[in-house]
Amino acid sequence: MPTDIAIAQAATLRPIQEIAARVGLRPEDISPYGHHIAKVPAEAVPADAADGRLVLVTGVNPTPAGEGKSTVAVGLADALALRDRNPVLCLREPSLGPVFGLKGGAAGGGYSQVVPMEDINLHFTGDLHAITAAHALLSAVLDNHLYRPNTLGIDPTQITWPRAVDMNDRALRNVVIGLGGRTGGVPREDRFVITAASEIMAIFCLADGLDDLVERLDRIILGYTKAGEPVRAGGLDVSGAMALLLRNAIAPNLVQTLGGTPALVHGGPFANIAHGCNSLAATRMGLKLGDVVVTEAGFGADLGAEKFFDIKCRAGGLRPGAAVLVSTVRAAKYNAGVARDQLEAENVEAVVAGSANVKAHVENVRKFGVPVIVAINRFTHDTDAEVAALRHACAEIEATAVEADPWGGGGAGCLDLADAVHAALESGEADFAPLYPSDMGLAEKVETIAREIYGADGVDFDGAALRSIDRLEAAGMRESPVCIAKTQYSFSDDPTKLGRPTGFRIGVRDVVPSAGAGFAVVLTGNVMTMPGLGATPAATNMRVENGRAVGLF
């Protein structure tokens, strides 16, 4: 089997005008970036068009073996197209950090990819660079204001606004800035987050147009005065300039799958340290252009799906009609404690034991009133007995489980999954509701998620976290949803607790504002908002040969 990039480079892509025409867009409605990528401004889509139906693709807790969630999302969209369902695929943009690190890109794989894959995984249309630049502008103006004249009375020791860069760089997690004497600025401690964890990214993905974007940027809490009063970005009069940097980026990007299905790839927050969903603008656009929108949320359902339902759907008034939970035989075995180098050996007993993780995620999604189908993404070494064991485990909780082969079969390998999803949409069973009401206090919201979604016995808040909650609620954020930053590898905040752990508590070390985005970020365990590179980064295998990318997956 050829590599992902070899498959993508061998494909014959359709002109982007042809892809646009499939969803009723004329050539003059789009702004092409070359032959196969285009920006689609919001005004190109009729606001009074009827909405299609929304399907979320989520997954079990990720494992080192990989589950292929984005690949299943692409394969499902192509399968729906083969069934003449007029789908639109809505995905996140990849971050350069994982691309050059360990995780890889976010364009799918095998014969279920969005293309042009190498452009999407690298600079694409520059959206993430624009977000990084807007973040850097605010950081620069903030420190310039500290230097002269600090009329806002910002306490340098209580600044919560970090810096950002779209790369994994552990050396930037904690830094000292402002050195170099009197003209070097105000010396203080600072930190960097990866762009995917920037509040600008979250705002970008939840804003309803440029005017709303500016209002949200104004609401960003930068830090506090010595009296403990919040200082917001609006006081620096720079939100207009930040919006100027983002004015082109805010339009969703139109590309295609290998099967020719229209795909809107826009925005890219991580789900373990941010809210993990593509832009609300792209999802809404997809609902106007297609009959079915297939979207995905990052990492496991305990992170991505919960935030999709409680943050994105709440903010955008979305009502998902069905969800797909991606699992694999290998993930079940890993969650039962099987070592990574033993995952290809048949082990039916381990599949049965590890299926507890799948069952927990199914039960959690159902708590939001959304019917869920389990997609068993089948790999080469999976045996019939193992697949049967996983299907039987799903049947024990009356969950439909369907085999899928998006990597090797593309859309044709996901036809059964497409049929199951269509049946769920037609059933009318969906009765979506968020997990908690908006008027619940921040600490109670964290407790609710910890108990209902993670299966924890409760939450232990550090003193700093409790003080932060009091300060945020006093600043008017009591009714905001919470965005829990937690390890993606476990329901708990300990990445070594696999499967469906019990008898644990969630530790919260701090709660920080994301007031412009409209939520509070809850930091648990040792989760980092700036990832690091592994001992052998993927970047060491990448190069250019004869003008083409080599080693990119």
Here the tokens at position 185 are: 């600025």
Q: Are 304 and 274 in contact (CB under 8 A)?
A: no
The full set of domain ranges for the chain reads 4-119+249-427, 127-240, 444-524
Q: Which one of the listed residues 379, 461, 491, 519 is annotated catalytic?
A: 379
Q: What are the pLDDT digits (tens) for 220-247?
A: 999 999 999 999 999 999 999 999 999 9
Can you give the pLDDT at residue 532?
Answer: 92
pTM score, whole prediction: 0.95
Rg over alpha carbons for the chain, rounded to the nearest Å, is: 23
What is the pLDDT averaged over residues 513-525?
Answer: 95
Q: How far is CA 427 from CA 125, 309, 421, 430, in A?
A: 39, 20, 10, 8
Q: What percentage of the chain carries pLDDT values higher than 90?
A: 89
Q: Are 204 and 250 in contact (CB under 8 A)?
A: yes
User: Tokens 């921040």 belong to which residue?
Assistant: 442
Average pLDDT of the chain to the nearest whole number: 95
| H/E segment holding residue 50 | none
Can you give the pLDDT at residue 15?
Answer: 97
The neighbour count for residue 219, using CB atoms within 10 Å, is 22
Catalytic residue status for 445: no
Q: Assign domain 444-524 to its CATH architecture.
A: Roll (3.10)
Q: Which one of the listed residues 39, 53, 58, 71 is annotated catalytic?
A: 71
Using DSSP's 3-state secondary structure scheme, residue 483 falls into strand
Q: Which one of the listed residues 39, 85, 103, 509 is annotated catalytic?
A: 103
| Residue range 127-240 in CATH 3.30.1510.10 | yes
Catalytic residue status for 71: yes
Q: What are the pLDDT digits (tens) for 275-306?
A: 999 999 999 999 999 999 999 998 999 999 99
Can you give the pLDDT at residue 10?
Answer: 92
In sequence order, what DSSP letters do the residues of 169-228 get, joined into one string?
A: -GGGSSEEE--SSGGG---EEE-EEEGGG-HHHHHHHH--SHHHHHHHHHH-EEEEETT-
* Confidence class for position 316, pLDDT limits 50, 70, 90: very high
* Confidence class for position 260, pLDDT limits 50, 70, 90: very high
What is the amino acid identity at position 459?
V
Say if residue 330 is exposed, middle or buried (CB neighbours under 10 Å; 0-12, 13-18, 19+). buried
| Residue range 4-119+249-427 in CATH 3.30.420.40 | no
Catalytic residue status for 160: no
Q: Which one of the listed residues 124, 204, 308, 407 is annotated catalytic?
A: 407
pLDDT at residue 330 tops 70: yes
Can you give the pLDDT at residue 182?
Answer: 86
Here the tokens at position 201 are: 């990214």
Catalytic residue status for 92: yes
Q: Where are the beta strands (DSSP E) in 23-142?
A: 31-32, 38-39, 53-59, 87-91, 108-109, 112-115
Largest CA distance in the chain: 71
Catalytic residue status for 299: yes
* Confidence class for position 22, pLDDT limits 50, 70, 90: very high
Lowest-confidence region among 310-314, 504-508, 545-549: 545-549
Q: Which one of the listed residues 20, 197, 251, 271 is annotated catalytic?
A: 271
Q: Which one of the listed residues 39, 53, 92, 219 is annotated catalytic?
A: 92
Q: Which one of the listed residues 39, 53, 69, 330 is annotated catalytic?
A: 69
Helix axes 127-147, 199-206, angle to 10 degrees: 130
Q: Which one of the listed residues 192, 204, 270, 299 is annotated catalytic?
A: 299
- In sequence order, the 6+-apart residues with CB closer than 8 A to the CB of 181 are none
Can you give the pLDDT at residue 103?
Answer: 60
CA 127, CA 510: separation in Å to the nearest integer?
30
Catalytic residue status for 161: no
What is the pLDDT averaged over residues 472-494?
Answer: 96
Q: What percentage of the chain carries pLDDT values higher than 70?
A: 99
